[in-house]
Amino acid sequence: MNPDLTERAFEKTSPYLVGREKVREFSRAVFASSPVNFSVEAAHEAGFADVVAPPSFAIVLQQLTLDQLIGAEDAGIELTHVVHGAQQFTYTRPIVAGDELTAQLSVTSIKTLGGNAMITAESAVHDIRGEHVVTAVSTLVVRGDA
């Protein structure tokens, strides 16, 4: 595992346009039950511009940044040895259909424990105006060779 990853500046992703049907599909996949996740009318009544993505939707944006980390040739990460250890989201506001979002990754911690590495990766997600929407934090466990 490359310890210099904590000092690396990863590129901001291209803008991701959050689609209404993508939000609905994701909502069904995670068994969301709120009408604001499916109905534009319900979202409007609740004060939102469009359907609201469930909180875990931010993983869609974070995955774009994690792909950069896992794909880095000098990272020392073998995808077949990666297990997702933990996930956390800290929101400033909900994601709604129509948002154009970018994300940028930073590796905040690398720890070695019993031959395995634990990488904490933080992805800050901003809207097109540069305003913070959510920060997604993942802990990845990279198993050591058997």
Task: Map tokens 């989201």 to a residue.
Answer: 89
Question: What is the model's pLDDT at position 71?
Answer: 80
**Which residues form the domain of 105?**
3-18+54-142
Q: Other C-beta atoms within 10 Å of 7: how many?
A: 9
Q: Which residues contact 22 (CB under 8 A, 6 or more apart)?
A: 60, 97
| CA-wise closest residue to 89 among 61, 132, 52, 56 | 56
Quick check: is 104 in a domain? Answer: yes
Quick check: is 59 in a domain? Answer: yes
Question: What is the model's pLDDT at position 4?
Answer: 75
- CA-to-CA dists, residue 128 to 17, 41, 62, 72, 98, angstroms: 10, 24, 16, 26, 11
Quick check: is 88 in a domain? Answer: yes
Judge contact between 121 and 69, C-beta under 8 A.
yes
Question: What is the model's pLDDT at position 20?
Answer: 97
Mean pLDDT by 10 residues, the chain (146 residues): 77 96 97 97 98 96 89 75 85 98 93 85 96 95 73
Quick check: is 45 in a domain? Answer: no
Burial of 141 (0-12, 13-18, 19+ CB in 10 A): middle
Quick check: is 71 in a domain? Answer: yes
> What CA–CA distance (Å, rounded) separates 13 from 69?
12
Domain count, the chain: 1
CATH number for the domain spanning 117: value is: 3.10.129.10
Quick check: is 84 in a domain? Answer: yes
Quick check: is 115 in a domain? Answer: yes
Question: What is the model's pLDDT at position 145?
Answer: 65
SS3 category, 70: helix
**Entry pTM:** 0.87
Quick check: is 31 in a domain? Answer: no
